[in-house]
Structure 1
Amino acid sequence: MAAAKKSTVARALAEFSDFNLKLARGQQMLDRIKDEHVEIATADKEVVFREDKTTLYRYKPTAERTLGIPVLVAYGQIGRYTMTDLQEDRSMLRNLLALGVDVYAVDWGSPTRSDRWLTFEDYIDVYLNDCVEFICREHGIPAINLLGICEGGVFSLCYAALYPERIKNLILTITPVDFHQDQAEGRVNHGLLNLWTRGLGEDDIGQLIEANGNLPGELMSHVFSQMTPGATLSKYNVGLLDTFDDEKKLLNFLRMEKWLTDRPHHPGEAAKQLLVNLYKNNELIRGEFKLGGRTVDLKDICMPVLNVYAKDDHIIPPKTTQALGDAVGSDDYREIGLDGGHVGVFVSGKSQGVLGKGIVEWLRERDDA
């Protein structure tokens, strides 16, 4: 018994010593890491168009271009487009460039209280439309390929329905369409954003926007963190600790944290449209969503559509995305379901070479420029 007790104590002391050594190595790595080591969205690009706070980037080619029609990437207002180029080896944009795509991306900037009255109409009819028009003029073409992500996918759906002549092919990724299908699969940990929003009264949302002028980025960060409370509580001890044996893993962790904490404010009126008209009233799939007096009819989307969803997406559950198949007017509609969660389909090691390759192969089949 005494020997067994000594052995247990020895193992405990050894584990404690290893733990302290790991902490020391981690501290040394953190001391060496500077801000420039954690930069994100570093793919070579240039500003080609700017309007108010909206900036259009064109990325420098890294391979011979093999597609005749350029792709415009549109992210939403809840996060930043920089997630699509998190780091060199985890970048959807770099993967597209490596496969010969001419890539543009729109950055909505950092809205302030002065942008409180900007609406979906401003972002779709003005900013997004002007970016599309610029690209068409630049290339001497009537239409482009549009790739929308999350809320940017909603922008892209609305734009394609209202300006179908300007879109040759429409690609959507992790895009909500039927905002009330969040519980369709019976997965209780999915769709909490939808449930939270439906639990708010329209007056509650109005007062929230009135008090802040916008939908605060800090509030949305808190809402998203509470969707996975266990992971949120453990990532700075268990998750961070697991990276202390590998500086590359630590840098991956820090880059993701940098993106997560850089969440812009959402312009107030546009936020009300998102939360009330779409999340609460589900007007998009019902054919009742109006922009500038025009109804966004998904049946007007007759160009080829590729719809990509994440099988384990707890923020945009698969069924909310897959509802698009029965709603669009296109005869050329395809879905791709990828393993992973909402952000994982863009930044995980598994998805690299799958998402970009799938998009480009689909585009090549339809590229006659």
Structure 2
Amino acid sequence: MDLVPLRSVPGAGLLPGPDQVVAAASNVAHKLLYGGVADLRPMPRTLIDEGTLREVYHYRPAGAVKEQGDPVLLVTPLAAPSSCYDLRRGCSLVEHFVTEGRPTYLVEYGEVSFRDRNLGMEHWVDEVVPTAIREVSAHAGGRPVHVIGWSLGGIFSMLTLADERSGALPVASLTVVGSPVDVSLVPLLAPFRPLLNFFNGRGPISQGYQLLGGAPKPLVKWAFQLTAFQKLVTKPIALATHVDDREFLAQVEAVDHFTANMIAYPGRTFGQLYHRFAKGNQLAEGLFELDDRTIDLADIDVPVLVFGGSTDGIAPVPAVRAVVPLLTNAPEVRFEVVPGGHLGMLTGRAARTTTWLVMDEWINQHSGGVAPTPIGTSPKRRHSSSASRALSK
């Protein structure tokens, strides 16, 4: 018979039970002796390709596990560390894929400095993401790649696959996790949008990122924390009331570690995101002006899986779901609502039995080793989008 924590029993009072006291004492001792209760060891990996702000890694199989099937490529967003996919042991999407034998790869960008201030989004859409896809396919024996992008990583992935300049990429499917397409549907930005348009490019934000050469690491960290301000305020209370719950404490530690390792934005890229994305809301119509061309999301012609987080404040469900009717040339579009906030939907405790299982099903469904039709050469196909369904915890 399972023991119910005393705090979860209505009217049970405030005194903890004996089991809770023992668990709490153990967690406090572990925190004092070892600095924490979370296992933050990253999964073993090997660098297979690198370039300017481009590092492509292959995660080595664990023990006697044999890799099989088509590879997955995890695309990190700018400013976020790669630990978004490898948060902690037991709550790591990388660990999940590796232990089940899926060839697993990741592209990250290293440290962004002032000297990178002139790099725009073109660098990621034209060079970083397509090069990573080709390198992963080659390393995996020429098999097509399942691309998975979280947040801005999903935006970069969509723009790459929609861009004719990328050419024929060996992609089996695309998964987009928490990537807002219509920012007018993001409540956090709603109060600021009139101000952004009022200043017309001459406001403090524009002048600030131009002066600093981008968005520095402390500012990025502060902005991410601000989006979860309520949780930040109530965090001491949550920790005090869950001191006997090692899984809860480990997750808090892992998220704190993730937030502490945020990375800066290059100046030109930040400017493009600010003016064309946050202020101009260009992607809401499926179009994005980049360099000397306009990229149309309708040109994506691989199957697309889209996730929205039920409590995501950065990318609310409506802002993410807005991409579905824009993907008119994709052979299949599936939209899923899963538990969690912006990070939690990807690597929270509930993601293990929701998001990850849907990903497994999707990848298996669209695997087979057959080379995809080169982008931009296939005829227009009938758009089929599955109905969204909410997955409970």
After superposition, the Cα gap between the structure-2 partners of 1:363 and 1:211, relative to the gap in structure 1 and judged at 3 Å, is same
Q: Is 1:99–1:357's contact at 8 Å kept on the other side of the alignment?
A: no
Q: Equivalent residues in 2 for 1:16-27 (5 A)? A: none
What residue is the counterpart of 1:60 in the other structure? 60
After superposition, the Cα gap between the structure-2 partners of 1:141 and 1:29, relative to the gap in structure 1 and judged at 3 Å, is closer
Instruction: Give the number of the structure whose residues are more often helix, by fraction.
Output: 1
Bigger shift: residues 96-105 or 113-122: 96-105
What residue is the counterpart of 1:91 in the other structure? 92
What residue is the counterpart of 1:144 in the other structure? 145
After superposition, the Cα gap between the structure-2 partners of 1:249 and 1:219, relative to the gap in structure 1 and judged at 3 Å, is same
What do the CA deviations read for 1:239-271 (whole angstroms, capped 9, x no partner)? 332343345543332221111121111111111
Bigger shift: residues 38-47 or 243-252: 243-252
- What TM-score results when the alignment is normalised by the length of structure 1? 0.84
- Offset at 1:193? 3.9
Letter in 1 for 2:53: K
After superposition, the Cα gap between the structure-2 partners of 1:238 and 1:144, relative to the gap in structure 1 and judged at 3 Å, is same
- Offset at 1:366? 1.6
State the distance in 2 between where 1:129 and 1:41 align: 29
- Offset at 1:111? 0.5
- What TM-score results when the alignment is normalised by the length of structure 2? 0.79
What residue is the counterpart of 2:80 in the other structure? 79
What residue is the counterpart of 1:343 in the other structure? 343
What do the CA deviations read for 1:48-79 (whole angstroms, capped 9, x no partner)? 11113321110112444342x21111011132
- SS of corresponding position for 2:182: coil
Bigger shift: residues 213-222 or 171-180: 213-222
5+ residue gaps, structure 2: 1-13, 370-393
State the distance in 2 between where 1:273 and 1:232 align: 30
Bigger shift: residues 358-367 or 140-149: 140-149
State the distance in 1 between where 2:346 and 2:229 align: 22
State the distance in 2 between where 1:93 and 1:195 align: 37
Letter in 1 for 2:176: L
Alignment RMSD, CA only? 2.8
State the distance in 2 between where 1:82 and 1:355 align: 17
What do the CA deviations read for 1:58-111 (whole angstroms, capped 9, x no partner)? 0112444342x2111101113222121111110111112233321110111121
Does residue 207 (structure 1) correspond to residue 203 (structure 2)? The answer is: no
State the distance in 1 between where 2:51 and 2:221 align: 27
What do the CA deviations read for 1:144-169 (whole angstroms, capped 9, x no partner)? 22111100000000001013631221
Q: Equivalent residues in 2 for 1:329-368 (5 A)? A: 329-368=329-368
Does residue 173 (structure 1) correspond to residue 174 (structure 2)? The answer is: no
What residue is the counterpart of 1:3 in the other structure? none
Q: Equivalent residues in 2 for 1:309-348 (5 A)? A: 309-328=308-327, 329-348=329-348
Q: Is 1:160–1:301's contact at 8 Å kept on the other side of the alignment?
A: yes
After superposition, the Cα gap between the structure-2 partners of 1:64 and 1:21, relative to the gap in structure 1 and judged at 3 Å, is closer
After superposition, the Cα gap between the structure-2 partners of 1:164 and 1:367, relative to the gap in structure 1 and judged at 3 Å, is farther
Q: Equivalent residues in 2 for 1:99-178 (5 A)? A: 99-141=100-142, 143-162=144-163, 163=166, 165-166=168-169, 167-178=171-182
What residue is the counterpart of 2:5 in the other structure? none
- Offset at 1:181? 2.4
- SS of corresponding position for 1:290: strand
Letter in 2 for 1:107: E
- Offset at 1:302? 1.3
State the distance in 2 between where 1:126 and 1:38 align: 36
What residue is the counterpart of 2:385 in the other structure? none
What residue is the counterpart of 2:11 in the other structure? none
- SS of corresponding position for 1:335: strand
State the distance in 2 between where 1:23 and 1:83 align: 28
Q: Is 2:78–2:153's contact at 8 Å kept on the other side of the alignment?
A: yes
Does residue 258 (structure 1) correspond to residue 257 (structure 2)? The answer is: yes
What do the CA deviations read for 1:291-326 (whole angstroms, capped 9, x no partner)? 231211111011111111112211101111111111
What residue is the counterpart of 2:240 in the other structure? 241
State the distance in 2 between where 1:340 and 1:225 align: 16
State the distance in 2 between where 1:173 and 1:31 align: 36
Q: Is 2:71–2:137's contact at 8 Å kept on the other side of the alignment?
A: no
State the distance in 1 between where 2:241 and 2:167 align: 49
Q: Is 2:85–2:94's contact at 8 Å kept on the other side of the alignment?
A: yes
- Offset at 1:358? 1.0
